[in-house]
């Protein structure tokens, strides 16, 4: 097996779980990054996932998802709007009765009429959640839908909400809905109001998924400057432009300690950052701890796929079967010669996948250097050029008929052509 010293440019996991770019970790690449020591991925599968149009989950399915999230190592699960949606209030109580010990958070509207938001906090806390997550409106567009709350009164409302929930004993999180479509000055001012009144976590949300990673990084840094080192910073971002993961990582680079995620990137609109992408990118590429069990993250993604009734996509990042299937002759040859990592980054066993080799029609290259020659060697045979040629012809015939020959087909052809047991033939 190749060792670390043979490959100074590759970052090799000692347990052969992954081989990735060492360039990621160079000082000149990471200059200016303020990576936290640990990133907590908040599980939003039940709340954000069910906000997908066309998705309605049963209580049993939600309980199964909550147990799975907890088993992966997730320490915070979003239950829903426990102060304003009766079914969510009941769900939080059920989670506590059924042994969910992770932190549970309720989303609470800070922009409802006076009297209403206080009652929502009271109901949410009675349901058994320990985190109250206030969503504030502050940009001109969103405020037109709440005419009882003039823009100038928003910071004072945020302060009142945070103080009320803190006094009731909750851990308090606050985020401005659509912060990325809000004037940065206001983002700062509202965050400062939340922190000054004791918020534990300050959120930055790209609710519509329309910010660039550079803008997210800027907003997280701006928020940190506004609130100081005390509160932790959280990021929630949608995938409208396919940038949810890049944006979440930009937030982490700027120091965000909490990031929202859903397996497979499900959620309202184009969904949010996929849990499996964030977990692997943060752990493997950045080397920052998430506290999660990576093989179980892949299992959780498959469970979510089944419960949401989503068709598996072969090219799905991290867990897709196509990442571990090969039909390029030189790739198959490397794998058969013992170098799986030349054309894969993650060992399939880490994500519960199995490797598959396809000897496809019009993809088999002539000569003994390629995939067929490698298979002959792997079986312990020696073959001359004419024999290799005949094996390639026979395998190509199968591929022409079936679109590709399987590894078993190829082994059968080789044994038929060369006879006997390959391992014995060379001994």
Binding residues for Zn ion, rule: CB under 5 A, are: 48
CB of 230 to Zn ion, least distance (A): 26
User: Do 353 and 321 form a contact (C-beta atoms < 8 A)?
Assistant: yes
Which residue, 10 or 215, is less far from Zn ion as judged by CB? 215
Q: How far apart are alpha carbons 95 and 68 in whole angstroms?
A: 12
Which residue, 94 or 272, is less far from Zn ion as judged by CB? 272
User: Do 232 and 262 form a contact (C-beta atoms < 8 A)?
Assistant: no
Which residue, 257 or 260, is less far from Zn ion as judged by CB? 260
Report the residue number whose CB is nearest to Zn ion: 48
The closest of 169, 227, 216 to 194, measured between CA atoms, is: 227
CB of 268 to Zn ion, least distance (A): 5
Which residue, 56 or 386, is less far from Zn ion as judged by CB? 56
- Name the burial class of residue 314, with classes exposed (0-12), middle (13-18) and buried (19+) by CB atoms within 10 angstroms of its CB: exposed
Which residue, 170 or 261, is less far from Zn ion as judged by CB? 261
- Within 10 A of 369 (CB to CB), how many other CB atoms are there? 13
CB of 238 to Zn ion, least distance (A): 6
Distances (CA, A) of 333 to 328, 358, 359, 375: 9, 11, 11, 8
User: Do 234 and 201 form a contact (C-beta atoms < 8 A)?
Assistant: yes
Which residue, 262 or 391, is less far from Zn ion as judged by CB? 262
CB of 205 to Zn ion, least distance (A): 7
Q: Taking the CA atoms of 49, 53, 54 and 56 in sequence, report the sign of the dihedral they define.
A: positive
CB of 248 to Zn ion, least distance (A): 12
Which residue, 208 or 288, is less far from Zn ion as judged by CB? 208
Distances (CA, A) of 225 to 3, 108, 187, 192: 44, 25, 11, 9
Which residue, 205 or 372, is less far from Zn ion as judged by CB? 205
Q: How far apart are alpha carbons 248 and 282 in whole angstroms?
A: 10
CB of 45 to Zn ion, least distance (A): 12
The answer for residues whose C-beta is within 8 angstroms of residue 28's C-beta and 6 or more apart is none
- Alpha-carbon dihedral 138, 143, 145, 149, rounded to 10 degrees: 100
Which residue, 266 or 383, is less far from Zn ion as judged by CB? 266
CB of 2 to Zn ion, least distance (A): 43
CB of 48 to Zn ion, least distance (A): 5
CB of 233 to Zn ion, least distance (A): 17
Q: How far apart are alpha carbons 135 and 174 in whole angstroms?
A: 6
For the record, the structure tokens of 198 come out as 């004791």
Distances (CA, A) of 251 to 217, 244, 257, 333: 5, 11, 9, 41
């Amino acid at each position: 097996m190749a060792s670390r010293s043979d490959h100074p440019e590759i970052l090799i996991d000692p347990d052969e779980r992954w081989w990735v770019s060492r360039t990621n970790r160079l000082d000149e690449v990471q200059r200016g990054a303020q990576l936290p020591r640990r990133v907590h991925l908040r599980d939003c599968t039940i709340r954000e996932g069910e906000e997908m149009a066309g998705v309605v989950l049963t209580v049993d399915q939600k309980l199964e998802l909550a147990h799975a999230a907890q088993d992966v190592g997730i320490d915070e699960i979003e239950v829903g709007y426990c102060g304003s949606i009766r079914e969510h209030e009941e769900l939080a109580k059920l989670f506590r009765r059924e042994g969910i010990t992770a932190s549970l958070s309720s989303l609470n509207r800070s922009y409802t009429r006076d009297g209403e938001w206080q009652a929502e906090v009271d109901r949410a806390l009675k349901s058994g959640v320990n985190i109250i997550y206030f969503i504030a409106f502050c940009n001109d567009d969103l405020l037109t839908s709440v005419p009882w709350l003039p823009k100038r009164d928003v910071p004072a409302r945020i302060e009142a909400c945070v103080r009320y929930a803190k006094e009731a004993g909750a851990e308090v999180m606050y985020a401005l809905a659509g912060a990325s479509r809000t004037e940065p000055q206001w983002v700062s001012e509202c965050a400062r109001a939340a922190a000054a009144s004791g918020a534990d976590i300050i959120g930055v949300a790209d609710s519509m998924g329309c910010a660039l990673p550079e803008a997210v990084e800027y907003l997280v840094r701006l928020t940190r400057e506004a609130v100081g080192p005390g509160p932790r910073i959280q990021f929630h971002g949608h995938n409208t432009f396919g940038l949810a993961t890049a944006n979440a990582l930009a937030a982490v680079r700027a120091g965000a300690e909490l990031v929202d995620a859903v397996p497979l990137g499900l959620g309202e609109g184009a969904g949010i950052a996929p849990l499996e992408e964030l977990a692997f990118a943060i752990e493997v590429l950045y080397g920052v701890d998430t506290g999660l069990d990576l093989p179980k993250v892949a299992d959780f993604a498959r469970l979510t796929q089944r419960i949401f009734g989503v068709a598996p996509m072969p090219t799905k990042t991290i867990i897709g079967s196509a990442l571990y299937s090969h039909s390029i002759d030189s790739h198959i040859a490397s794998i058969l010669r013992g170098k799986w990592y030349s054309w894969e980054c993650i060992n399939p066993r880490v994500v519960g996948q199995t490797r598959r080799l396809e000897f496809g029609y019009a993809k088999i290259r002539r000569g003994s250097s390629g995939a067929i020659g490698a298979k002959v060697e792997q079986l312990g045979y020696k073959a001359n050029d004419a024999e290799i040629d005949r094996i390639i012809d026979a395998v190509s015939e199968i591929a022409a008929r079936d679109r590709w020959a399987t590894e078993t087909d190829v082994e059968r052809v080789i044994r038929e052509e060369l006879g006997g047991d390959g391992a014995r033939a060379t001994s």
